[in-house]
């Protein structure tokens, strides 16, 4: 099995090095190549790229021409990789603030049987902050009214802050109940959590891409709707386990800078996939 793991770094050098080292420690019979896309500005004497590539000949460091965001950076890295290598059987797009919950994650992935209609796989992702399971991100496709509400509520900074505050308290008070409601068995879902997504080769062979136009946020909806349009399923597989040390880069409190990205992605997803008739 061949797999390329694409991760995007911005202001998380230490976490990126830890993540690459964790991947390289995985005992595996598969061919894994790691592509680190660097969105961060670098000085002439910065050794981060050297430190990354000294890990292994299977690790590539790619300096982005500018800060391309999450999926923009991932697309840049994958496109550059495919200029030299054929499309692998799996493409894994991930944050760098992750830990493996299994000592043989990739061997386990290789041994599993997949339905012909499976295009994207969502692993189990447990938050290191509160222990909650983050997948399935969305079990069912949301109604258009919900997406338009999210577009509205994220449209201004005060509304977003109030919404985030309410959501955080709801998660704190009902965290255990929500954990009990999460599915614990493998099955088809609507959307995978953006921290880690596993794309099968057929996703790209059928025309799927990483060409999401927004800088940050909303990647889950983009992937879900792309797979849906291609006639492919997103499969939640809890046997593949990850731990998420979330918000290393974006922070836990909304800022006006980040709020602008949230507003843009919410508007894009609502307008593109959930029109007035949805």
Does the reported pTM lie above 0.85? yes
Query: Are the CB atoms for 233 and 149 separated by under 8 Å?
Result: no
Q: Which residues of 114-132 are buried (b: 16+ CB within 10 A; e: fewer)?
A: eeeebbbbbbbbbbeeeee
Q: How far apart are CA 135 and CA 124, in angstroms?
A: 6
More confident residue, 173 or 87: 87
- Residue 159 has a pLDDT of 84
- Residue 161 has a pLDDT of 84
Reply yes or no on whether the pLDDT at 183 is more than 80: no
Q: What is the CATH T-level fold of the domain 1-96, as seen in this structure? A: Spore Coat Polysaccharide Biosynthesis Protein SpsA; Chain A (3.90.550)
Mean pLDDT of 209-225: 97
Between the CA of residue 16 and those of 70, 97, 141, 174, 192, what are the distances in Å? 14, 7, 33, 32, 22
CA-based nearest residue to 122, from 242, 37, 249: 242
Domain boundaries, the chain: 1-96, 112-278
Q: How far apart are CA 6 and CA 79, in angstroms?
A: 11
- Helix 256-273 and helix 144-153: axis angle, to 10°? 160
Mean pLDDT of 206-231: 97
Confidence of residue 180 (pLDDT cuts 50, 70, 90): very low
Reply yes or no on whether the pLDDT at 182 is more than 80: no
Element (H, E) at 92: strand 90-94
- Residue 179 has a pLDDT of 45
Reply yes or no on whether the pLDDT at 28 is more than 90: no
Cα 46 from chain centre: 27
Reply yes or no on whether the pLDDT at 170 is more than 60: no
């Amino acid at each position: 099995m061949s797999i390329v793991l694409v991760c995007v770094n911005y202001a998380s050098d230490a976490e990126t090095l830890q993540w690459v080292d964790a991947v390289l420690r995985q005992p595996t019979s598969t061919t894994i190549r790691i592509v680190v896309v660097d969105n961060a500005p670098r000085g002439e004497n910065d050794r981060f790229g050297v430190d990354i590539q000294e890990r292994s000949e299977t690790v590539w460091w790619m300096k982005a021409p500018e800060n391309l965001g999450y999926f923009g950076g991932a697309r840049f890295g994958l496109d550059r990789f495919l200029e030299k290598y054929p499309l692998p059987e799996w493409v894994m797009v991930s944050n760098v603030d992750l830990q493996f919950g299994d000592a043989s994650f990739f061997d386990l992935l290789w041994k599993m049987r997949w339905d012909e209609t499976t295009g994207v796989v969502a692993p189990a992702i447990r938050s290191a902050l509160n222990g909650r399971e983050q997948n399935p991100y969305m079990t069912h496709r949301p109604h258009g009214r919900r997406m338009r509400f999210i577009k509205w509520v994220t449209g201004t900074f005060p509304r977003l802050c109030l919404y985030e505050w309410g959501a955080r308290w709801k998660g704190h008070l009902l965290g255990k109940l929500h954990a009990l409601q999460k599915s614990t068995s493998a099955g088809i879902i609507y959307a995978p959590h953006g921290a880690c997504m596993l794309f099968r080769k057929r996703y790209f062979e059928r025309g799927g891409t990483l060409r999401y136009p927004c800088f940050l946020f909303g990647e889950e909806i983009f992937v879900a709707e792309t797979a849906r349009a291609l006639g492919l399923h997103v499969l939640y597989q809890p046997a593949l386990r990850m731990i998420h040390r979330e918000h290393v880069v974006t922070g836990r409190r909304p800022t006006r800078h980040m709020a602008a990205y949230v507003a843009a992605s919410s508007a894009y997803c609502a307008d593109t996939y959930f029109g007035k008739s949805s």
